[in-house]
Amino acid sequence: MSRKIRYGMVGGGRGASIGALHRIAAAMDGQIELVCGAFSSDPERSKASGADLYLPADRCYGTFEEMITKEKALPADQRMDFISIVTPNHMHFPPAKMALENGFHVLSDKPACFDLAQSKELAAIVKKSGLVYG
């Protein structure tokens, strides 16, 4: 690949230590860049968190649904390539499901899902999509 891999983050905004740890780890080899995010369940806090990270205002989203929808509408050479999910445990499944169903690869903090039913559904979605889930 002749460019950095672009990612969007779900969760990990102001006051969330795990988001900062994931961003540091992602940046270590210089081959990846954070381009957008929905950093909090509170839309204003999410947008403020994105501003803290020097992201353009139009790439700081109030919800993960908004992020996935708007990123999908961008030209392929501008949109995120995958999402990194660093939300509280019970919230990993909804953004992973939506991202996969909209053509985005997913990297999720553990646990992948909240229960066995979600795990089985997610496995089926990953298989159907042909996308990477990690």
16 φ, ψ (degrees, to nearest 5): -100, 105
DSSP state of 5: E
Give Cα separations from 106 to 15, 48, 68, 88, 99 (angstroms): 23, 24, 12, 16, 7
> What is the per-residue pLDDT for 60?
98
Residue 120 has pLDDT above 80, yes or no: yes
> What is the per-residue pLDDT for 111?
87
pLDDT digits (tens, 9 = 90+) for 31-90: 999 999 999 999 999 999 999 999 999 999 999 999 999 999 999 999 999 999 999 988
Say what percent of the chain tops pLDDT 90: 90
d(CA 98, CA 24): 25
Is the pTM here over 0.85, yes or no? yes
